[in-house]
Chain A
């Protein structure tokens, strides 16, 4: 099982058997989650890292084999179909901690199980600071694991296997570091190498889910899970969605950004625009977005409105 830091618990120990994957992932996306979702199966685990609703990383670990991103998502669907036990947890993080957790999940191993007593620890910390590393420093013994989380070289939190939340003091981690046989791992990410990707745009989970649900053991139709831009060699048709689904998604986005008036506002402006299908017309879409933005100014910040506008535009593209 992954040991990932625990942040603000949003969902805890939800039975995977009751989970509809596409709906669950839509909720995390529309809820603009910054944090991680963990699927804990009996023989495998999958961690999804979100940043403001964007699915930026997926890691599936099964029998010491790791799969990442699209492959991991495909394995996740398989696992969910094949297994009817396990639990689902979602934790929210601050953006800084989230980046450090991302480093833990998919960072480059700068140090790999180095014995702590052989390391100049002070020098290591200075290196993290001077190189402005976004990283997680993991200190492990046979019994305990502690973590120090860094964002741009600054410490943003501490965590250990007995904690229920990110801590602001290093007491417990320091204790672990003094135990005999303690080793150090340092995982770091450089720049925003994955910050701009949104795997949920690249992988059509709904199709994968529907296909897998249709017959696990039946010879399934091959599903093109990537958009054309992800695999330019295979020109798969763009994913289209039912207009009711798009409308529901737009309302969910507006609700997540503006609160309960979001739905009323979208309903009203859709009526003015002539319905969801009218948004295929670029000028009508522009007018719709401008009208929504104009009223949103009394409900949310400019940044939030911009994010909402972009998210709605992406949804409309699916029409």
Chain B
């Protein structure tokens, strides 16, 4: 879908926006994905309203995923390297928050205590994002190479914590078996499984320099380097898994929260 004229119109009504010279074309699947994350963010925020604070962590985490995904669609993302770097940090903060929520849930199943305030979660999130921003600000402007490194670090954090979360959710389910909400919580295993597929295959492509960002750098800087095996079936499989995993994780989050709503109605 061609959004070039839409952004060109934006630059006429918002004068400080840089001019758009290149065509802005989105895949429908990218737009659908962002829409799913938007729905997931709204529904998880609504779910957390009036609920225990661990749902606040989880819902802010899912909202930040939406934010990060939506930012990547913005045509100026590649123009403001520092802002893009901050958004990569926000991506890592989002999975940290979600993991924190599930760790708190597991602790609850052991102690049956609900402690702490939601304000702490909001402030800690803000603090983490500000710290990340300060880190980016104090360092030189990141190049495209550095941004790719940021992205790799983010994917590593996501992959590692999603695997941990699968085990934590299974443990929680074991503890709360028989309660009305138990199967809803178990559905998060599916969510994290799809996230592992999504982020894991993306990381795999980055490690072997088969990712589009590296290919763009090779082209831009005329490296004349060809990543060995880029035409192999594994690369195609990983690319398909990455896009399917992204789509399914968004969908499964929407489905899981809808199911949770049904269970707690």
Contacts and interface: CB of A to CB of B under 8 A. Distances in A.
Which of B54, B108, B179, B182 has the most chain A CB atoms inside 10 A of its CB?
B179
Nearest to B264: A301
B114 A295 contact: yes
B181 A300 contact: yes
Nearest to A258: B179
A223 interface: no
Contact of A298 (B114, B177, B178): B114
Nearest to B108: A298
Given A261-B176, A268-B112, A297 B52 contact: yes
Contacts of A268: 112
B178 A302 contact: no
A107 B114 CA distance: 48
Interface string A240-266: 000000000000000101111110110
Contact of A300 (B108, B109, B179): B179
A303 B176 contact: no
A295 B109 CA distance: 10
A294 interface: yes
A221 B194 CA distance: 68
B265 interface: yes
Given A294-B114, A297-B52, A298-B105, A261 B179 contact: yes
B212 interface: no
A303 to B, nearest CB: 7
Contacts of A303: 265
A264 B179 CA distance: 13
Nearest to A264: B112
Contacts of B105: 298
Given A298-B105, A298-B114, A300-B264, A260 B181 contact: no
A172 interface: no
A299 interface: yes
Contacts of A262: 179
A301 B178 contact: no
Contacts of A259: 176-180, 182
Contact of B265 (A295, A299, A301): A301
Interface residues of B, number: 20
Contacts of B181: 298-301
Given A261-B175, A297-B51, A298-B52, A304 B112 contact: no
Interface string B49-93: 001101000000000000000000000000000000000000000
Interface string B236-265: 000000000000000000000000000111
Interface residues of A, number: 20
A109 B265 CA distance: 37
Contacts, number: 55
Interface in A264-312: 264-265, 268, 294-295, 297-304
Contacts of A304: 180
A262 B181 CA distance: 13
A270 to B, nearest CB: 12
Contact of A295 (B108, B177, B178): B108
A265 B265 contact: no
Interface string B100-134: 00000100110011100000000000000000000
Contacts of A300: 179-181, 264
A289 to B, nearest CB: 15
Interface string A7-41: 00000000000000000000000000000000000
Interface string A140-163: 000000000000000000000000
A265 B175 CA distance: 12
B264 A295 contact: no
Interface in B198-250: none
Nearest to A300: B180
A294 B181 CA distance: 15
Given A259-B182, A261-B112, A265-B112, A299 B176 contact: yes
B108 A260 contact: no
7 contacts: A258-B178, A259-B179, A259-B180, A261-B112, A262-B179, A297-B52, A300-B264
Given A300-B264, A301-B265, 12 more contacts: A258-B178, A259-B180, A260-B175, A260-B176, A260-B179, A261-B112, A295-B108, A297-B52, A297-B114, A300-B180, A300-B181, A302-B264
Interface of A: 255, 257-262, 264-265, 268, 294-295, 297-304
